[in-house]
Amino acid sequence: MRWEELAGRVRLRDSSAEEELSKHFYPRIMAMAVVRLRDREAAQEIAQEALLAVLVALREGKLREPEKLPGFISGTARNLVNNHFRSLRERPNTVELDPETPSSIDLETEAALAEQRQSVRAALELIDPQDRAILLFTLVDGMNPREIAFRVGLSVENVRTRKMRAIRQVTEELQRLSRKKARTLLNRETVR
Amino acid sequence: MSCSQINREDVAERYLMGSLAPQERESFEDHYFDCEECFALLQARRALQAELSANAAQLLESLRNTIRTSSPPDKVWRWGWAIGLTVILMSVGSLLWLRRPATQPPASSQVSIVRQQESTKASKAPTSQTDQTAAQITRQNSLKELARVQPPPYEPNLLRGTIDQATEKFRDGMRDYVHGDYQEAASKLRVAAKIDAQSPRIQFFLGASELLIGEDDKAIRSLQAAAALGDSPYLEEAHFYLAKGWLRKQQLVAAQQELEKTIRLQGDLEQQARGLLRQLEVLEPTSP
């Protein structure tokens, strides 16, 4: 119901609905484009084009199954990514819209990611050096547990267990820092 | 795709490393567009990956320091073997001693006890030749691990219209490839390559198939042919798999050069190539 309702409001040119849609899906489109393209600049262009294409399609009532809005948006973004691979710089026709630009959302996404990295840095300090290396080998070097086990002199099961434990520790610390930040913001609001 | 499957099968990590099959990748993307928790999980992994990548050198140095302060596995094994042998010899010696007649042992058995003691001492001190052999075996095993090849994914091109003979042979071979019959695939792709030697995708998948069936020299030639055809969608993969081919032949310098070329192209395989290069650099100081 939520997606149907949102799509319906966008069709009626409700600017708050468009903002809500952009804020929700822009980070997801960016994530997909960055992971696939490994080029942040190209990803930003594609994310903005995808969002524009989606908003135009919704305004024109082209989405036949509004409850499948997330799939429609992911499919649109994927097509643009594939087009980029195929033709390098193919662009859809630009359409004039209201001045609410995705670039402010992009800045938010960037700021959120930078903040998250700072939190990750703090969380990584709390875990064992060998576990940090296991995470490095997994997430950066793309090694599987067997390869890592050979590299660090542990059993495969041990590597798996330590990796899961390290990720859980980092995730819990991130959640704790996030709750602490939320409480700080709430306190500031209360004081005002 | 469900949240539990994503957690159970490390899907987010494999997505970030580019190692999901195309269908799995799409399925995961469709999922996180609609799932707050899994998207948050993905974003956390991305931040973690970025932070680890930025501090890779520091983390590896920290790991090396940790490893230096603890016994490496092969030394532990050798000492364990020596201690085990000593215990066995002492047990046998004790049994013999207990069973002896109540007189002084003859001189020859005294000598043999001394010899046993000497051989026990000798077994405690590993020879330098044993060390060297063990180091060679460790290096070879490491190279073998690094040279392991996963079949590069293949997505059929579904363009309609007439197809030429080379494309027909290519598709025929790739049907075998997709079913894991790389021997048959290589045989058909060779025919396709004879018809059209200028097709990067034919040369690339021929090279990949030859790597997968252990025909390393042929694989290197085919992949070099694919790379020589210049800027194509297969250029990056050709260099990456060439590196694997050279690793199979223990030609580390050639492998490093191919990995550097892969990295310069800044494509999907850049991170994997950087990781492999880093591991080769760690391996290189221990090579004889």
Query: Do the beta carbons of residue B67 and residue A137 sit within 8 Å?
Result: no
User: For residue A10, what are its two tokens?
Assistant: 């966008």
Provide the pLDDT for residue A79. 92
pLDDT in tens, A147-160: 888 878 888 888 88
Per-residue pLDDT band for A93 (boundaries 50, 70, 90) equals very low
d(CA A83, CA A80): 5
Residue A25 touches partner B, C-beta closer than 8 Å: yes
User: For residue A184, what are its two tokens?
Assistant: 């700080």
pLDDT in tens, A115-161: 777 778 888 888 888 888 888 888 877 787 888 888 788 888 888 88
Count the Cβ atoms, other than its own, within 10 Å of residue B165: 11
Provide the pLDDT for residue B110. 42
Mean pLDDT, residues A79-93 taken together: 70
d(CA A146, CA A134): 11
Residues of B in contact with A174 (CB under 8 A): 44
Provide the pLDDT for residue B283. 67
* B185 exposure class (CB count in 10 Å sphere: 0-12, 13-18, 19+): buried
Low-confidence ranges of chain B (pLDDT < 70): 62-141, 157-162, 282-288
Q: How far A2 CA lies from chain B's nearest CA (Å)?
A: 11
d(CA B222, CA B214): 13
* A124 exposure class (CB count in 10 Å sphere: 0-12, 13-18, 19+): buried
Provide the pLDDT for residue A73. 95
CB contact under 8 A, A133 and B42: no
Query: Do the beta carbons of residue A27 and residue A77 sit within 8 Å?
Result: no
d(CA B21, CA B27): 10
Query: Do the beta carbons of residue B252 and residue B284 sit within 8 Å?
Result: yes
Residues of B in contact with A138 (CB under 8 A): 13
Query: Do the beta carbons of residue A135 and residue A116 sit within 8 Å?
Result: no
Tallying the residues shown for chain B, one arrives at: 288
* Helix, strand, coil tally for chain A in percent (to 5): 80, 0, 20
Provide the pLDDT for residue B88. 58
Largest pairwise CA distance in chain B: 101
pTM: predicted TM-score of the whole model, two decimal places: 0.54
Average pLDDT of chain A, as a whole number: 80
Torsion angle defined by CA atoms of residues A9, A11, A13 and A18, in that order, rounded to the nearest 10 degrees: 60
Mean pLDDT, residues A63-75 taken together: 92
Residues of B in contact with A126 (CB under 8 A): none
Q: How far B94 CA lies from chain A's nearest CA (Å)?
A: 37
Residue of B nearest to A160 (CA): B10
Residue among A117, A3, A129 at smallest CA distance from B61: A129
Provide the pLDDT for residue B162. 64
Rounded to whole angstroms, what are the CA distances from B179 to B117, B151, B185, B188, B201? 61, 11, 9, 14, 18
pLDDT in tens, A6-53: 999 999 988 899 999 999 999 999 999 999 888 888 888 899 999 999
Residues of B in contact with A179 (CB under 8 A): none
Residues of B in contact with A35 (CB under 8 A): 15-16, 18, 46
Q: List the single best residue of A38, A141, A168 to mutate versus B (max B Cβ within 10 A).
A: A141
ipTM score assigned to the predicted complex: 0.76
- Nearest-by-Cβ selection for A32 from B19, B29, B279: B29
CB contact under 8 A, A139 and B266: no
Cβ contacts from A onto B, under 8 A: 126
DSSP state of B286: G
Provide the pLDDT for residue B66. 63
- Nearest-by-Cβ selection for A143 from B33, B60, B275: B275
Provide the pLDDT for residue B13. 87
d(CA A142, CA A133): 12
Mean pLDDT, residues A92-103 taken together: 46
Provide the pLDDT for residue B107. 43
CA within 13 Å, CB half, B162: 2
Rounded to whole angstroms, what are the CA distances from B27 to A64, B2, B15, B19, B31? 21, 10, 11, 14, 6
CB contact under 8 A, B268 and A38: yes
d(CA B276, CA B148): 11
d(CA B100, CA B104): 9
Residue of B nearest to A127 (CA): B59
Residue of B nearest to A155 (CA): B73
Query: Do the beta carbons of residue B278 and residue B267 sit within 8 Å?
Result: no
